[in-house]
Every structure is written in structure tokens, then in C-alpha cells.
Homo-oligomer: A and B are copies of this chain.
Amino acid sequence: MPELRQDPVSGRWVIFSPARAARPSDFAAAPPPPAAGSCPFCPGAEAETPPEILALRPAGSPPDSPGWTLRVVPNRYPALLRAGEPGAGVEGLYRCMDGVGAHEVIIESPAHERGLAALPPAQVAAVLAACRRRIADLGADPRLRYVLIFKNHGAAAGASLAHPHAQLLATPLVPRQVEEELDGARRHYEDARRCVFCDVVAQETGPDGGRRLVSADAGFAALVPYAARFPYETWILPRAHASAFERGDAAQDAALAEVLGGTLRRLERALPGLAYNLVLHTAPCRAPALEHYHWHVEILPRLAGLAGFEWGSGFCINPVLPEDAAAALRAAEV
């Protein structure tokens, strides 16, 4: 059973998942890419994943058979397991918790070579709809506090399989980065009676804004945040206030698919071969509609030569001003 442990000094929680690796020799080098034809996410290899949770497939076709256009399956090496109650433990000074949760894979399409940026908008919208369904389903489980959707694209971003996929991690705790956002947003709301994300969107799309804006349409703003941690970091925010992504509808999926695809294509044009992490930040499970919080997507490019500095220095050091990154991305429209 995986286990969560809390650092007694900083309070941060870490997931220990011995199923995901074992001996020192496992770390000697990056895992080799699977040989052509051996991808477990390709059509025909359905038996190589655990049984599917959700799929888009022709009416009447049996589960775990070919013909699908999108599959959601449990991660074969799950960081957390949906079993038992999240019991807590103590060892002297220390606190731990059973690793109850879920770890799923969203296989974005049958096409092995076609990344999210290259999928048709309707297929990206189908991926977003599947994410909303999985968050809503898992969010009803009272043992779970948060459902995080993320994507590691490229080996430098931690992807171990090339076939385009996103991941879902449902956790018995709210991730620290989201908790910090929720706390900061709550403080801003208490001061100003306004959502801080709405204020950011208003400033960046307003008459004095624009320098950090990548694109804006009726539904969404894509922008490089004022204090971007990474060069070309880009956030996509809905212009209308909403705290929970999963309460959106098909119109939201269609509109977000357009801007997400367009933003990824700009990034790939400006930075060929780009690796990135993408994270969806939404409200915690079962939270009511929150006046102070605002769901959004964060795209975090992982560029050569920058790894490690943030751990070493305790600060993110970003050599590219957000205004310069945004200008390059505006010019990189595809």
C-alpha cells in the first residue's frame, strides 16, 4: 500500500509509492523508449493496460477492444490506490497516512505520433470532457480531497511513454501548490472582495495590459504570468469567474480546446521540440462554488539547462521576462 508522510518541519506531504521503482540500478539511466509496435497505449494493445474505466468507442463494441478514439485506464504503476480507508499513523514525531487515492491515464487518441497540439479541436474537447467526467466521478468519493489532472510531455518533463496521454491523480489531501493558491486567493478576496484571478485577467486584457497577453477571445485569456517561474510559462484562464473546471459544459470544452491547442502550437513553434508539464488547477472535491477561486490551466515549459536551479537556490530564477516571452508567443501564431 502506498503511504503519505508529512515532514515534521515544513509540513509538506510526500507520496511514497514503492511500486513505481525499486533498486538503485533502476535509476542508472532513463528508461529506454519502447520499441515501435510495443506501445501499451496503441490500438491492439488494450490487454496491456488494466481494464478501461471510460472509453469513446463505437456503440456495441466490447470494452478493451480496438476501435476506440479515447480511453481512460488505471495507471499500471499507480502512485496511490483506491482501497481501504485513509487511516492515519504516528511514529514518534512523525505523521503518515495510507495512500488512498486513484491514478489514471487518459489516452488522448489512438494516434501514437500525434501530440495534443496536433489533434483536431473536437478530439481535444473530447479529452477535456473525459477529464470533467472523471473529476466529477472521483470527487464524489468522500475519501478523496482533490483530483489533479496533469500531463508530462517529452522526456525532459518526465514522460516515460511517448504516446500522448494525460494523467489523473486523486489524493486524500489538497496538493500544496493548490492550497497556497487557495489561501492567497482567499486573502485577496477578504481584502478586496474580488477574485484575484479575475483581477489578473482584467489587468492583462485591459487598456494598460496586453504586454503579457498571448491571446484572448470571448471565453479565455492565455497569458504569461507576471511572476512566471519558468521561461514561456503560460496560463489559460476562463474570462468568466468559475471555481470548478468540472462543472463546465460541452461549450466550455470546445472553447478551451481551441485556445489550448492554439497555445501549444505557438509554444512548439517558438520552442521546437519543447517538453512541458501541464497542470489543471480546479477547486477541491465537493467545494461549493467559490467566490475567491478560479480554475485555470498552467503550462510549464521544461527547457534545457535550467533543471535543478530551483532546488539548489530555493528560488525560481527565470532568464526570460514575461513580456518578452509573450511577445514571442504572439508572433508565433500558427
User: Are the C-beta atoms of B271 and A27 separated by less than 8 Å?
Assistant: yes
User: Are the C-beta atoms of A305 and B160 separated by less than 8 Å?
Assistant: yes
Per-residue contact bits, chain A 167-198, to B (CB 8 Å; 1 contact, 0 not)? 10101000111101100110010000000110
User: Are the C-beta atoms of A188 and B158 separated by less than 8 Å?
Assistant: no
Is A39's CB within 8 Å of the partner chain B?
A: no
Is A54's CB within 8 Å of the partner chain B?
A: no
User: Are the C-beta atoms of B6 and A227 separated by less than 8 Å?
Assistant: yes
Given the complex of chains A and B, what is the CA–CA distance between A156 and B18 in angstroms?
Answer: 23
Per-residue contact bits, chain A 128-172, to B (CB 8 Å; 1 contact, 0 not)? 000000000000000000001011100011111000000101010
Residues of B within 8 A of A58 (CB): none
Whole-angstrom distance between the Cβ of A197 and the nearest chain B Cβ: 7
Given the complex of chains A and B, what is the CA–CA distance between A24 and B305 in angstroms?
Answer: 12
Residues of B within 8 A of A19 (CB): 319
Residues of B within 8 A of A8 (CB): 184, 188, 196, 199-200, 226-227
User: Are the C-beta atoms of A12 and B93 separated by less than 8 Å?
Assistant: no
For A279, the closest partner residue in chain B by CB is B312
Is A71's CB within 8 Å of the partner chain B?
A: no
Is A113's CB within 8 Å of the partner chain B?
A: no
User: Are the C-beta atoms of B305 and A7 separated by less than 8 Å?
Assistant: no
Given the complex of chains A and B, what is the CA–CA distance between A17 and B315 in angstroms?
Answer: 12
Is A262's CB within 8 Å of the partner chain B?
A: no
User: Are the C-beta atoms of A10 and B184 separated by less than 8 Å?
Assistant: yes
User: Are the C-beta atoms of A316 and B200 separated by less than 8 Å?
Assistant: no
Stretch of A28-36, A118-126, A213-221, A247-255 on the interface side = A28-36
Is A270's CB within 8 Å of the partner chain B?
A: yes
Per-residue contact bits, chain A 289-327, to B (CB 8 Å; 1 contact, 0 not)? 000000000001011111111011111111111001000
User: Are the C-beta atoms of A308 and B152 separated by less than 8 Å?
Assistant: yes
Is A88's CB within 8 Å of the partner chain B?
A: no
Given known contacts A16-B321, A180-B11, A188-B8, A307 and B313 CB-to-CB distance under 8 angstroms = no
User: Which of A's residues lie within 8 Å of B, judged by CB?
Assistant: 5-22, 24, 26-31, 79, 91-94, 148, 150-152, 156-160, 167, 169, 171, 175-178, 180-181, 184-185, 188, 196-197, 199-200, 203, 208, 225-229, 231-232, 270-273, 275, 277-279, 300, 302-309, 311-321, 324, 328
